[in-house]
Amino acid sequence: MQINHALSSLVQQTEQLSSRTKDYIEITKPKVVLLILLTALVGMLLALPQFPEPLLIIASLTGIGLLSSAAAAINHLVDYRIDVQMARTKNRPVAKGRVTQSQAFIFAGVIGFVGYAILYLAVNPLTAHLTLASLVGYAVVYTLYLKRATPQNIVIGGLAGAMPPLLGWTSVTNQIDPNALLLVIIIFTWTPPHFWALAIHRQKDYARAKVPMLPVTHGLEFTKTMVLLYSALQMIVGLFPWLFGLSGVLYLLGSTILNGYFLYLAWQLKFNDSTGLAFKVFKFSIFHLMLLFIVLLVDHSIITIYESQPY
């Protein structure tokens, strides 16, 4: 009898622990952080002709990952009043009170401190400072101020999310190189259509929570036009790595196909919209950025192998 009781209380405690762990993982926005880490890794690998020290790669990705996760946790903490009003976010751990504000604050503080220390001590101070600046840009400037102040919030705030390839680059070179900025500009141009497509789909949510996102302040048609214009800009900016000699023909081909399809979807959204198309554009944007950075990497590897041939 007693054994049964002990067992069932053990099972209960384990379940509680695993649901708490899930909550803490959720407030780090793990899928976003994973994509951020991919773009940082590609920045690292494109920075040098040879493969960087594996330990340096691990330290750098750990530090950038922890600081990005801390930024996401602060976003959950600062935004809980907005999050409770939106269908998409109302069940989030802080909005629901499963993780309290002070728990989220301590969690973000601890992982942020550890991430910063790893970057400062095991990578280099430049990368530590730039990553911390990105955290402040997203968690404080965007979340606390811009998000509530202007429909251009994500254009300006997007700079923080666009930094990871530069962070990867400085991790292994300890300097800011113009080629790294080409990769930053790619994500910077990608962010508005990525987010506005979702904001069109979730317009009612943002209107209810009184967040001045573009579809709320300027309407759906204007936002669709902006998605189309940024997609066209993305097509041009996507050529830069090839034009400036950072990438080769494989990248040119891959990026043209990916950016071309993005532009096609944005055109359809503007002139031939159908139910669910905005959400499709948002979903595709994630797949698009992931593939684009994989193509950058494959192209770089092929060029490196080719150039290392003795003849």
Is 94:27 a contact under the CB 8 Å cutoff?
yes
Residues 265-284 interacting with ligand FPP (rule: CB under 6 A)? none
Residue 73 Rama label (left phi>0; alpha psi -120 to 50; beta): alpha
CB-count burial class (<10 Å; 0-12, 13-18, 19+) for 274: exposed
Q: Smaller CB distance to ligand FPP: residue 26 or 79?
A: 79
Q: Which does 295 bind (CB under 5 to 8 A by kind): ligand HEM, ligand FPP, none?
A: none
Options 41-49, 150-158, 166-174, 239-247: segment touching ligand HEM (CB under 6 A): 150-158
Q: Does 66 contact ligand FPP by CB under 6 A?
A: no
Q: Smaller CB distance to ligand HEM: residue 198 or 278?
A: 198
Residue holding tokens 């698009």?
A: 288
The footprint of ligand HEM on this chain (CB under 6 A) covers a number of residues equal to 18
The footprint of ligand FPP on this chain (CB under 6 A) covers a number of residues equal to 19
Q: Which two tokens stand for residue 118?
A: 């790893």
Minimum gap (Å) between residue 14 Cβ and ligand FPP: 30
Measure the CA–CA gap between 279 and 193, rounded to whole angstroms.
Answer: 11
Minimum gap (Å) between residue 87 Cβ and ligand HEM: 11
Measure the CA–CA gap between 299 and 13, rounded to whole angstroms.
Answer: 49
Is 104:77 a contact under the CB 8 Å cutoff?
yes
Q: Which does 135 bind (CB under 5 to 8 A by kind): ligand HEM, ligand FPP, none?
A: ligand FPP
Q: Does 161 contact ligand FPP by CB under 6 A?
A: yes
Kindly calculate the radius of gyration of the chain based on its CA atoms and give it in whole angstroms: 21
Options 79-87, 189-197, 226-234, 261-269: segment touching ligand HEM (CB under 6 A): 189-197
Q: Does 27 contact ligand HEM by CB under 6 A?
A: no
Binding residues for ligand HEM, rule: CB under 6 A, are 31-32, 35-36, 39, 88, 142, 154, 157-158, 161, 187, 191, 194-195, 198, 286, 289
